[in-house]
């Protein structure tokens, strides 16, 4: 009998024995393990960091973010001019650009794309809905596009790379009942982008095939094929990297995992400063939480050192304000809070209102948020504040944060880079014009609003820097959130890969530059 | 006649059962504190965006209107659009069904292949050391948490020994999809590399699922065989001088098989239950991962769609089992 | 009845498997009740020592430490309380709801019994865990909600069981004669039917506890159980996944704990079946 069992085990082992690793390399194929599902390929429907790869590798924008510190390079557009009042923006387009189907890219495609975004009202549309009216974008000729803004906006240019251009003729052919081709584009690609869609299964991921005629040209050793697979479990991604099943994965793994990957010979870890601030979002618009002394008590009750040095092994840098330290607009000499229970008690003593249990919502699957919440819970308990932790998936947490009444008291999370401008952080998180969307602190502070609005209306960088520094300082000092660290990016890639161009936008998943050494 | 009657009455009850299921799940998913429209539009949505979408999707209507619409949609075969992936739910489910079926069928095969011989041997050698060991194993098989067993197997076979892959169904995208079953498709393509990859990927999840099921089968087979051995019928045959081997295979096994077939319905239920968790651990792109993700993302329509499908699947399997049983063992027709 | 009882009792006591089951459950109860005394670091249920993260078992932390540096042994012991609470309250309330419904439906027959069968069909058409996940997610993660989700999805099972048992008993002579003698339906149900189906209920309760613990742990594993830092066993396994294969003890400890407790309930259930319900003996009477 024992023999039967052994035989069975042997059969299983034999069936699975030589897992061929590294074979992919020979064919110039790159396999990436991603932490979210590619369930929709429509570049105008999705906008989250986790699903950036399909947007970046399949689609082109007028400009493109590359490198770190991030810079914008001309892409489908060659140049632009802005009118003196900051409202009219004219873009000169590149000539002779071909879509995947061989047809030519023109200004009509840009106009169709922006109108499609404004009509669908999904994804990145929220960046443009407040400043561009439908039908206001014009094409004086085949290679010129003119945007006319409703009001001057200092961040418009920084958001232009998010206008990804679809092949309008092809999409129009596949429109159904005026849906702007949404059903079709969810599973198909119509673009001029670096890769053509070769295979797609929403449950698995996608394969892109190099578009050899791409206008930007190619390096001699660029990948012929890129495959992005959904692998939700962190450990599976890490083990797969070590075994050689994957050649890359996301660069914001828990640091314990990075240490493991560093020991693997076939894996390299690329390090880069990033702009992704980890903080506790606080609901400033609710009883008790609107008391500055109560918020300060909490800010003194978080063990910053225990978190950064022990749990994250010192892999990140303390960031005391909402603005990332490595971007202009971050206050220079800001001290920030420390873990000091005596000061916390002193602040708490000044709170007049009766205490109540505080709720923290954590992001399921992101263990760092749970660990941070547990640490704060522990510190708060020592000064007599009870904290309850509720864990939920990101979409759930997010939708609750946008609702003033259903929002948690606090949420530990990251604010990632959607565009490189301090407004992405302190502006969106604390300007009252963003309440109900990205301002989930429900802060409505006349002084902050004045600074933020002023900074949006001018293109004078020096003036803007001062304003954002003032705003960030006030937010930090009044503990409108608990600001912990700015992430470093640790991009795990197979050791024989070169040419990864990391940019905080796109998180190092823009594969057109990379190659096997 | 009674057989036909049974089938007919089951079919008649199928519709109200499914309708009840839809109502229950609809009510459950409607209490979810999450706003599906906000989930759909993401963190950058503005109030007018949200309002417009709410009206478009009918979430501004009273609950009963939504329920009525829902029934209308289901009857017309339209399960709606997933809030999260923004694609038709039936499409997702159809594309994921083969993965789940392949896994559960592999697990059933494995558990029958393990369970019946072991059960027979256990009974024939009752009270031997082997019997005791097998009984300890079969009791343990039912006490082990499926997700933990999955982790154990991953730990030993994938992480320590490195002989099996950690997750997913196949390396890359696999053979040309025809049936959706990776094993069959790679045979159709005569693609041995894919076949090898598919088999090695299915080994661990199928084993995880099969062990508790095999434990059940061992227990039932053992009890069944002992019953038959001690029945007057077999005693009589033995007295007639038939060789014991023949008795075992001809009389004992046939009866043991009958009792196993009856159990398959039950086992299938256990398998589907465990599959939900096991698929999640192994990133198996089947209906189980779809269900867990939909629930975690509060994707109401996807949850309802999945529940209808899985409910229908289980009802149909049970019906098939009853029909098969009525053929194998006409006495027992209920 | 007496000789059967006595025989059963003897068999129960001499059955090593049942004794083992009982011992495992006693250990669980002791762990739960005396957790504050037995735990080497009782504070570690909520306290952290981040400098001590992920220590393998040693002389100080016998079962190692977790991702926050807390002592695993202490957390496992306190976790026993949660496990017992969930199993007892969830199964208990499912029994309290399901048994009366099954009794009434089985006793009266007719449309109530049809209605019951159909309603429970609906519940039983979907794996319990799927409905439980949906309910737990709807209500929000907490122990109370896990218990609620499990009871809501588990009562139909009891209703079906009691229904079937009652139906088959109803035609027995002693029930018929009780009815003929003018006993009220309530009296017949509680004094005549219930005692005779009690053994079936008790046996299924023991086995059902095991199953319920597994389902509850699965909910915890998916993040739908008690919020951190509650030392719920399923959640602990979920937390440990990230640290495999290096921190092998982290996943092993709670997994073994679940295994032993479920094993305890299953063995006890098997033993009770032999003892209380000799009709359906394990191994069909061959010993």
pLDDT per residue as tens digits for the range A150-186: 999 999 999 999 999 999 999 999 998 888 999 899 9
Average pLDDT over residues A232-243: 88
Contacts of A229 in chain B (CB under 8 A): 168
- Listed by number, the residues of chain B in 129-158 with a beta carbon closer than 8 Å to a beta carbon of chain A are 130, 157-158
In this prediction, residue C282 carries a pLDDT of: 41
Question: What DSSP designation does B167 have?
Answer: S
Determine contact, residues A360/A376, Cβ cutoff 8 Å.
yes
Token look-up 């932790």 returns A389
* The pLDDT of residue A5 is above 80: no
Same domain? For A410 and A508 the reply is no
Domain count, chain A: 3
> Residues 6 or more apart from C90 whose CB is under 8 A from it?
C146, C147, C150, C151, C154, C212, C216
- Kindly state whether residue A3 falls inside one of the protein's structural domains: no
Query: Does CATH place domain C69-280 in 1.10.3720.10?
Result: yes
**Average pLDDT of chain A, as a whole number:** 89
Residue with the bigger pLDDT between A175 and C133: it is A175
* The pLDDT of residue B66 is above 70: yes
In this prediction, residue C71 carries a pLDDT of: 92
Residue with the bigger pLDDT between C195 and B257: it is C195
Count the Cβ atoms, other than its own, within 10 Å of residue A357: 9
Phi, psi of A172 (to 5 degrees): -60, -35
pLDDT per residue as tens digits for the range C62-117: 999 998 889 999 999 999 999 999 999 999 999 999 999 999 888 888 887 778 77
CATH, residue A237? 3.40.190.10
Average pLDDT over residues B103-123: 89
Shortest CA gap B291–chain C (Å): 8
> Residues 6 or more apart from A175 whose CB is under 8 A from it?
A181, A184
Phi, psi of C99 (to 5 degrees): -65, -50
Shortest CA gap A440–chain B (Å): 10
> Residues 6 or more apart from C127 whose CB is under 8 A from it?
B269, B272, B273, B276, B310, B314
- Kindly state whether residue A303 falls inside one of the protein's structural domains: yes
Here the tokens at position A184 are: 């079709």
- CA atoms B169, B175, B180, B184: torsion sign: negative
Taking the C-alpha atoms of residue C94 and residue C177, their distance in angstroms, rounded to an integer, is: 32
In this prediction, residue C19 carries a pLDDT of: 87
Taking the C-alpha atoms of residue A372 and residue B30, their distance in angstroms, rounded to an integer, is: 32
Same domain? For A186 and A161 the reply is no
Residue with the bigger pLDDT between A398 and C56: it is C56
Inter-chain contacts counted by CB atoms under 8 A, chains A and C: 63
Same domain? For A403 and A507 the reply is no
- Kindly state whether residue A266 falls inside one of the protein's structural domains: yes
Taking the C-alpha atoms of residue C57 and residue C253, their distance in angstroms, rounded to an integer, is: 10
Contacts of A182 in chain B (CB under 8 A): 86
For chain B, the first-to-last Cα distance in angstroms comes to: 12
A403–B contact, CB cutoff 8 A: yes
- DSSP code per residue over A352-379: -SPP--EEEEEETT-HHHHHHHHHHHHH
Same domain? For A140 and A187 the reply is no
Here the tokens at position A204 are: 């698995």
* Percentage with pLDDT > 90 across chain B: 14
> Which chain B residue is nearest to residue A198, measuring alpha carbons?
B173
Q: What is the ipTM of this complex?
A: 0.87
B154–C contact, CB cutoff 8 A: yes
User: Which residue range forms the structural domain that includes residue A387?
Assistant: 273-488
Phi, psi of A417 (to 5 degrees): -90, 115
In this prediction, residue B39 carries a pLDDT of: 66
Contacting partners of chain A (3+ CB pairs under 8 A):
B, C
- Kindly state whether residue A4 falls inside one of the protein's structural domains: no
- Kindly state whether residue A457 falls inside one of the protein's structural domains: yes
- Kindly state whether residue A400 falls inside one of the protein's structural domains: yes
* The pLDDT of residue B253 is above 80: no
pLDDT per residue as tens digits for the range B193-230: 889 989 999 999 999 999 988 988 888 888 878 877 77
- Kindly state whether residue A15 falls inside one of the protein's structural domains: no
Shortest CA gap C49–chain A (Å): 8
Count the Cβ atoms, other than its own, within 10 Å of residue B231: 15
Average pLDDT over residues A216-222: 91
Of A376-390, A393-407, C4-18, C146-160, give the lowest mean pLDDT range.
C4-18
Contacts of C69 in chain A (CB under 8 A): 310
Shortest CA gap B188–chain C (Å): 34
Same domain? For A323 and A446 the reply is yes
Contacts of A414 in chain B (CB under 8 A): none
Residue with the bigger pLDDT between B298 and B191: it is B191
B152–C contact, CB cutoff 8 A: yes
Which of C130, C208, C223 has the highest number of chain B CBs within 10 A, making it the mutation to test binding with B? Answer: C130
Taking the C-alpha atoms of residue A476 and residue A277, their distance in angstroms, rounded to an integer, is: 13
Here the tokens at position C254 are: 């709670």
Same domain? For A380 and A499 the reply is no
Nearest to B43 among A1, A19, A398 (CB): A398
Same domain? For A498 and A470 the reply is no
pLDDT per residue as tens digits for the range B124-167: 888 888 888 888 888 888 899 999 999 999 999 988 888 888 88
CB contact under 8 A, C251 and B21: no
Same domain? For A382 and A457 the reply is yes
Shortest CA gap B228–chain A (Å): 23
Identify which of A173, A156, A191 has the alpha carbon closest to the alpha carbon of residue A72. Answer: A156
Helices and strands (H and E) in chain B: how many: 14, 0
Instruction: Calculate Rg over the CA atoms of chain A.
Output: 24
CB contact under 8 A, A375 and C50: yes
- Residue B232 buriedness (CB in 10 A; 0-12 / 13-18 / 19+): exposed
Same domain? For A258 and A293 the reply is no
Determine contact, residues A320/A305, Cβ cutoff 8 Å.
no
* The pLDDT of residue C160 is above 80: yes
Same domain? For A351 and A451 the reply is yes
Contacts of C223 in chain A (CB under 8 A): 364-365, 391
- Kindly state whether residue A10 falls inside one of the protein's structural domains: no
Contacts of A441 in chain B (CB under 8 A): none
Q: Which of A130, A152, A173 is the last residue of a domain?
A: A173
CB contact under 8 A, C223 and A364: yes
Contacts of B267 in chain C (CB under 8 A): none
CATH, residue A462? 3.10.105.10
pTM of the model: 0.84
Which of C43, C44, C45, C48 has the highest number of chain A CBs within 10 A, making it the mutation to test binding with A? Answer: C48
């Amino acid at each position: 009998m024992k023999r039967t069992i052994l035989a069975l085990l042997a059969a299983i082992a034999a069936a699975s024995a030589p897992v061929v690793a590294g074979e992919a390399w020979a064919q110039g194929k790159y396999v990436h393990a991603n932490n979210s599902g590619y369930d929709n390929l429509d570049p105008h429907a999705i906008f989250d960091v986790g699903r950036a790869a399909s947007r970046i590798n399949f689609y082109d924008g007028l400009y493109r973010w590359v490198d770190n510190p991030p810079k914008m390079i001309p892409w489908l557009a060659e140049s632009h001019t802005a009118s003196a009042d900051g409202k009219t923006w004219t873009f000169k387009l590149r000539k002779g650009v071909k879509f995947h189907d061989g047809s030519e890219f023109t200004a009509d495609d840009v106009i169709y794309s922006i109108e499609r975004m404004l009509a669908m009202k999904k994804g990145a549309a929220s960046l443009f809905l407040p400043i561009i009216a439908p039908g206001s974008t014009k094409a004086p000729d085949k290679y010129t596009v003119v945007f006319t803004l409703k009001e001057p906006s200092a961040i418009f240019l920084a958001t232009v790379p998010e206008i990804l251009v679809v092949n309008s003729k092809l999409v129009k052919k596949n429109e159904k009942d005026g849906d702007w081709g949404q059903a079709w584009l969810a599973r198909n690609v119509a673009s001029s982008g670096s890769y053509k869609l070769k295979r797609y299964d929403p449950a698995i991921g996608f394969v892109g095939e190099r578009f050899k005629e791409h206008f930007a040209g190619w390096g001699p050793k660029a990948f012929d094929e890129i495959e992005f697979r959904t692998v939700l479990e962190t450990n599976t991604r890490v083990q797969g990297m070590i075994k050689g099943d994957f050649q890359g994965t996301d660069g914001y793994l828990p640091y314990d995992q990075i240490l493991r990957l560093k020991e693997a010979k076939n894996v390299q870890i690329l390090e880069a400063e990033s702009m992704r601030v980890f903080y506790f979002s606080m609901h400033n618009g609710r009883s008790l939480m609107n008391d500055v002394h109560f918020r300060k008590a909490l800010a003194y009750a978080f063990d910053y050192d225990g978190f950064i040095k022990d749990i994250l092994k010192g892999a990140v840098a303390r960031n005391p304000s909402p603005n990332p330290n490595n971007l202009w607009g971050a206050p220079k000499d800001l001290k920030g809070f420390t873990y000091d229970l005596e000061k916390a008690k002193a602040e708490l003593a000044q709170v007049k209102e009766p205490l109540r249990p505080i709720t923290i919502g954590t992001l399921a699957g992101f263990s760092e948020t749970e660990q941070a919440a547990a640490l704060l819970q522990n510190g708060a308990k020592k000064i007599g504040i009870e904290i309850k932790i509720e864990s939920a998936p990101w979409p759930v947490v997010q939708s609750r944060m946008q609702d003033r009444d259903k929002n948690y008291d606090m949420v530990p999370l990251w604010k990632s880079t959607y565009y490189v401008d301090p407004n992405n952080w302190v502006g969106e998180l604390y300007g009252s014009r963003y309440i109900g969307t990205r301002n989930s602190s429900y802060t409505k502070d006349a002084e902050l609003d004045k600074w933020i609005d002023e900074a949006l209306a001018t293109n004078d960088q020096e003036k803007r820097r001062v304003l954002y520094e003032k705003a960030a300082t006030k937010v930090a000092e009044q503990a409108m959130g608990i600001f912990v660290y700015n992430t470093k990016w640790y991009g795990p890639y197979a050791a024989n890969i070169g040419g990864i161009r990391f940019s905080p936008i796109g998180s190092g998943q823009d594969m057109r530059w990379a190659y096997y050494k | 006649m009674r057989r036909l009657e049974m089938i007919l009455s089951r079919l008649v009850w199928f519709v109200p059962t499914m309708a009840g299921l839809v109502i229950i799940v609809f009510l459950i998913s409607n209490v979810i504190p999450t706003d599906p429209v906000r989930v759909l539009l993401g963190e950058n949505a503005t109030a007018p965006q949200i309002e417009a979408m709410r009206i478009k999707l009918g979430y501004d209507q009273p609950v009963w209107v939504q329920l009525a619409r829902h029934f209308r949609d289901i009857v017309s075969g339209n399960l709606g659009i997933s809030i999260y992936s923004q694609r038709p739910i039936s499409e997702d489910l159809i594309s994921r069904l083969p993965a789940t079926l392949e896994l559960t069928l592999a697990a059933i095969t494995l558990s029958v292949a393990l369970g019946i011989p072991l059960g027979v041997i256990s009974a024939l050698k009752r009270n031997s050391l082997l019997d005791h060991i097998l009984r300890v194993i079969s009791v343990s098989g039912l006490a082990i948490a499926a997700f933990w067993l999955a982790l154990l197997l991953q730990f030993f076979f994938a992480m320590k020994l490195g002989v099996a892959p950690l997750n997913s169904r196949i390396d890359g995208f696999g053979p040309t999809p025809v049936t959706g079953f990776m094993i069959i498709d790679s045979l159709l393509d005569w693609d041995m590399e894919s076949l090898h990859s598919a088999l090695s990927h299915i080994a661990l999840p199928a084993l995880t699922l099969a062990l508790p099921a095999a434990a059940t089968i061992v227990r039932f087979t053992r009890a069944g065989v002992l019953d038959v051995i001690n029945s007057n019928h077999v005693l009589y045959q033995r007295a007639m001088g038939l060789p014991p081997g023949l008795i075992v295979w001809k009389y004992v096994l046939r009866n043991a098989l009958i009792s196993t077939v009856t159990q398959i319905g039950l086992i299938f239920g256990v398998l589907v239950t465990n599959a939900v968790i096991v698929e999640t651990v192994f990133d198996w792109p089947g209906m189980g991962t779809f269900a867990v993700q939909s629930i975690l993302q509060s994707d109401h329509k996807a949850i309802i769609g999945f529940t209808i499908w899985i409910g229908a699947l289980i009802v149909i399997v049970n019906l098939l089992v009853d029909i098969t049983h009525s053929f194998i063992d006409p006495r027992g027709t209920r | 009845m007496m000789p059967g009882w006595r025989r059963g009792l003897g068999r129960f006591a001499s059955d090593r498997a049942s004794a083992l089951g009982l011992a495992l459950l006693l250990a669980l109860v002791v762990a739960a009740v005396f957790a504050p005394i037995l735990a080497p670091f009782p504070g570690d249920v909520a306290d952290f020592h981040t400098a001590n993260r992920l220590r393998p078992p040693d002389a100080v932390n016998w079962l190692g430490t977790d991702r926050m540096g807390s002592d695993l042994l202490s957390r496992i012991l306190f976790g026993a309380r949660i496990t017992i609470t969930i199993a007892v309250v969830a199964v208990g309330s499912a029994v309290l709801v399901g048994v009366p419904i099954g009794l009434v439906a089985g006793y009266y027959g007719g449309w109530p019994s049809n209605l019951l069968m159909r309603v429970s069909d609906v519940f039983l058409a979907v794996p319990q865990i799927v409905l439980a996940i949906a309910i737990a997610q709807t209500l929000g993660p907490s122990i109370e909600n896990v218990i609620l989700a499990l009871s809501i999805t588990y009562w139909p099972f009891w209703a079906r069981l009691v229904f079937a048992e009652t139906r088959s008993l109803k035609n027995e002579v002693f029930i018929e004669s009780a009815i003929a003698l003018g006993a009220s339906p309530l009296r017949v149900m509680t004094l005549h039917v219930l005692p005779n189906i009690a053994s079936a209920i008790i046996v299924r309760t023991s086995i059902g506890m095991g199953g319920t613990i597994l389902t509850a742990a699965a909910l915890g594993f998916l993040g739908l159980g008690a919020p951190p830092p509650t030392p719920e066993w399923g959640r602990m396994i979920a937390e440990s996944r990230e640290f495999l294969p290096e921190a092998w003890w982290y996943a092993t400890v709670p997994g073994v704990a679940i295994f032993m407790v479920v094993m305890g309930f299953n063995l006890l259930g098997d033993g009770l079946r032999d003892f209380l319900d000799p009709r359906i003996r394990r191994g069909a009477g061959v010993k």
